[in-house]
Structure 1
Amino acid sequence: MEPIYLDHAATTPAHPAVIEIMASELANTFGNPSSIHTFGRKAHRTLEDIRQVIAASLKVSPHEIIFNSGGTEGDNTAIIETALSRKNQGMHLITTAIEHPAVLETMKYLEELGFEVTYLPVDERGELSITDFENALRKDTTLVSVMYGNNEIGNLLPIKEIGALLVSHPAIFHTDAVQAYGSEQILPHELGIDLLSISAHKINGPKGVGFLFKNDNISLPSFLHGGEQEGKRRAGTENLAGIAGMGKAVELLSDSEKKQRHEKYADFERMILAQLDQAQIEYQVNGNPENKLGHILNLRFSGVSSELLLMHLDLQGVAISTGSACTAGTVEPSHVLEAMYGENHPAIKESVRISFGLGNDEVQIQRFVALLIETIKKIKQ
């Protein structure tokens, strides 16, 4: 039976058009973009054409796009270099308790260097209080890093409101938009965002490539030292084939495509919840259903071990998750659910994440929910 992949929040399959253009670039545009001969100039033109495509998706200047290896590098660059380069102005940083590990672990590293970090809490719906943020903001705050959309529960964070509050404050505003870029219209200049991290493998592009948006109005030292690539802002020869694949993935993310995806995923979610209701399966939606990314649905099934549920579904060819892929294979509980409910709450070990994407259709969803219901009933017998 055909397997069902419903873990697109962890990574996405490459679109066929992405694979095609990457193969073409590997075969035909192998020059170093920094070389001045014909082969290098051809590669450089390709690189800059893609930079323009990506910049247009955010309505920013092409020069504000820095190609890199993905979201983790983008987060580390934005956070570490901002903090270190501005430590004479202050050593207080603000983030949230539900950030991706690429942000949280970086903040912990800076704490070891003497920085003070405020981790803003969330309520039981995963919502961040703007009042809490205002109260945490200080004169010596030099960086605010708040994710655009959460990768486990899907909640959208109040980026617009935070950006508005920072207009009159010198703190740099960074957002990890890795999970949100593929579905939301994000306009950094309108939102007051200074730095924004993206990873291609979340939008049906290749792994190991991404970009960092850096507002031209701010300065940021290079995280990597070496050559003068990316306008001396990121050393290392660019991964042109990967960048080309990312560019094609971005081209495919038109406004109409994003709208269609929102509608389709909303239908999938309604189908799943309606079938669960009809089967009288007890469940709870984690997060705020009215304020979240459309492709993520996080559910708690009371009395059902999430690890046991995943194992049974995996044996039947269905892939879902308990949360962040970066903590897969460990027994560590979800830090997002802990932030919402508190440590040792039953929901932490009874919740799963279902995330939709390329290749999913109604037939798959109907088959998935039938298997889900059957498996839950077996476990609870």
Structure 2
Amino acid sequence: MKKLLLTLLVVVLCPILSQGWGFFGHRTIAQISVYALPASMRGFYYRHMAELVKRSTAADERREADPAEAPKHFIDMDHYGDNPFGLMPKLYDKAVAKYTADTLRKYGTVPWTVMELKDQLTDAFRKRDTVAIVRLSADLGHYVSDAFVPLHTTENYDGQLTNQAGIHSLWESKLPERNIAKYKLDAESAKYLKDPQSDIWQVVQDSYGFLGATFDFEDDLNNKFTTEQKYVFSHKYGKTRRSYSDAFADAYHEKVGGMVAYRLKQAPTMVASMWLTAWKDAGSPDLDNMMAKKPSKAEKEKLAAELKVWDKNELVSKQLLLSLQKVEQEVRPDLINAAQDMAPVQEEPAPAATTPTGSPVPGAPAVPAGTNKVKVKTKPADAPSQKQKAKATPKKSTSDGWGTPSGSGW
């Protein structure tokens, strides 16, 4: 018992900063987005598809070094009250006037980041800057994809406020990685977005609508799993981390797998539509003329063959999904199947937990560098719980000017 308690203390003191969809999800979305483009764009993007897939995770990689990067990936809508989509202006300048720029940065800016990147990509198309087109397309795709993850719309982004720590990586990484062969990846074709700002906000609102089920189904399964069955522990570089077991992940997937697959299928269509919209807004420049060599017959045939495989939803079985292809082997932590089977932990003082500046609760886990998310939130005794807030689907006021229905989008 002493070993277990010490290990759990180390786990608490070593929080993991979750990243949208995980590398696997982002790379999958990037590849499917290329297939969803119209023929006039597909040749150029297919030529650069491997680079786009690789760069699709660059935004997450920057978070370690750039403190300004983290807020671009999320927006904690529950911070703005029980009817956040009726209160929050869609235009950034109006939102700043109402809440201040510091507040927006603290609680996330993903919809405005998407619009900023879309405008930058439009400018790159106008300038025929192919290097910038590829780089900005990858980044834009990343932020759009993040908006499709429900846990990127709440202060309780990793279940840390409801004793569900680790649910972020479970939902967006472990579930799709274990079940990708079951998902339908034949996303709908891209279309021009007349109002991309409203469209990306609708994505955020739909994601927010899925929060109730995301938390509740995890909570419902607690009665069927002991702690030893629910979690596994890993050791790496002298630290111990806790994650959900395969058995629990499979049971959870039976409850929310349809939701995960649905959001993963929708994301590439929106990513490709943002690329298409930026291209059309730039005057639809000839992308084939931007390539040093025009697509060869062999390249066209290869693309055509992949499109047929994609249309039949056979990318996984035909081993054509780039996110599943072998990458350079990484050092993997030793995995322990249950808390009761853990190896002895050295009996040495655990590092003291530091309280981040402005943290309302002494002893709370330190906020990792580069993130402005609030780890602990206090509320009045009669205020609704985080899960209750997440379950409530916000109703749009008649005067908010959104022009889109509230709800989860199911």
Higher relative contact order (CA 8 A, sep 6+): 2
TM-score normalised by the chain length of structure 2: 0.23
Higher helix share: 2
Higher strand share: 1
TM-score normalised by the chain length of structure 1: 0.24
